[in-house]
Structure 1
C-alpha cells in the first residue's frame, strides 16, 4: 500500500496481531499497544464499533487496500451465493499480489506488490503489472528468469515467511505456482472475525 508511510510494527501493536502481509516482524516481544498507556489500553473493553473497526483494519493493512477498494470488494462479495464474509476473504486471497506473497516470492504483500508493478511477474505466460488481478483456477504464476536472481527473492524463496497454502501448488523445478483450487475463508493467515467486518460495512454502503 503506497500510501502507508508509518511504522508497520506500530500498526500491528495497535491491532494486537501479527500481520504477515504487512511486515516480517512480530509483536511477540512488545504485544502492548504503542504509547505510555499501552497496558491500560489492553485492559480497556472495546466498544462494539471498536471491535468491528479493528477487524476491518486487520484486513485493510494486511492486504494493503484503500478504503475504497475494501468497499468495492464487500459490494462484490454480497452478490455471491456463499456467505458475504467467506466471499470477501476469498476475493482478498485471490489478489495477484497476495498470491505472489503466499507463493514465497516476496517477504510481504507490500514487496509482492512492487514485484508485480515493476513487471517481474508472469501470469499464464504473459507479463502483468496489475496487483489487483484476481487469479482463477488453474492459473500459473511465476517470475521472470532474471527476476529470480533478485537477492530479496532468493532469500525469501529459501526461507518463506509463511508455509504455502494447499490451494497453491508449488513446482520447485520451475519455481512456479499453480492455483489448484480456490482458497477457503479459513486460510487467511491470522485470526479474523470477518462477520464483524461485514457488520461494519452493513450501514456504510
Structure 2
C-alpha cells in the first residue's frame, strides 16, 4: 500500500510541529517549505484551516485519504461525539498501539513490524497495521522476534511515558489494550472538530 516516504522535515515545517518525531529543523527554519515559505500570507480561509487539520491527522497516524474517510464514516455512525470517536478509532489501530507500547520507536517502524509478522494479537499473528483492537486484546512480540535488534533497541530507549488505556509487561514483552482511550488522555495536538466540520460540508 502507498505511504508517504518523503522528507520528514518538510512535513514538520508544513504544520509547524514535529509530526514525524523530534526535529531540529523547526528551530532553524520555522516557516513552511517551498520558495514562498517565508512570504506566505498569514491569513488562511476556514476551508484551508480545516483541510490542514485533516492532513495533519493523516500524517500523524500514517493513514491514507480513502482509509481516513472510511474511518470518519464509521465514527459518524457510532454513538457519542464524532471527532472523539475518530481519534479513538485511530488510537485503536494495531500499528499505533505497537508504537504506544514502545515496541517500535515510530509509527512507521510499528507498521513495518506488524507487516513483517513480528506481532501477535491474542496469540495469533496479525500482519494488518489497521487491525482494530478491542478492550481486553493482548498485543505481544512473537517469540522468534524477541531478540530482534529493532525491538530490543526501542524497548531499551522506552521512556517513562505511560498511557492509561494500555498495560505493558516487560517480562513477556506483551501489552494489553485495556480500554478505549478518553479524549483528554490522547496526547496528539489535533483539533478534531475542524475535521468534523470539513466532512460535514
Decide: shared fold, TM above 0.5.
yes
Contact 2:96 2:110 in 1 (8 A): yes
Distance 1:24 1:108 in 2: 11
Gaps of 5+ in 1: none
SS where residue 191 of structure 1 aligns? coil
Contact 2:75 2:85 in 1 (8 A): yes
Question: What do the CA deviations read for 1:145-176 (whole angstroms, capped 9, x no partner)?
Answer: 23222222111111137823111011122121
Q: Give the number of aligned pairs.
A: 200
1:72 to 45, 56, 70: 70
The 3 A distance-change label for structure 1 pair 111 and 154 is same
1:49 to 47, 53, 56: 47
1:164 to 162, 171, 187: 162
The 3 A distance-change label for structure 1 pair 62 and 167 is same
The 3 A distance-change label for structure 1 pair 175 and 143 is same
Distance 1:200 1:96 in 2: 27
When normalised by structure 1's length, the TM-score is 0.90
Computed over aligned residues only, the root mean square deviation of the Cα atoms, in angstroms, reads 1.9
When normalised by structure 2's length, the TM-score is 0.91
Gaps of 5+ in 2: none
The 3 A distance-change label for structure 1 pair 183 and 26 is farther
Deviation at 1:181, TM superposition (A): 1.6
Match of 2:93 in 1: 95
Structure number with higher relative contact order (C-alpha < 8 Å, ≥ 6 residues apart): 1
Distance 2:151 2:105 in 1: 8
Contact 1:24 1:108 in 2 (8 A): no
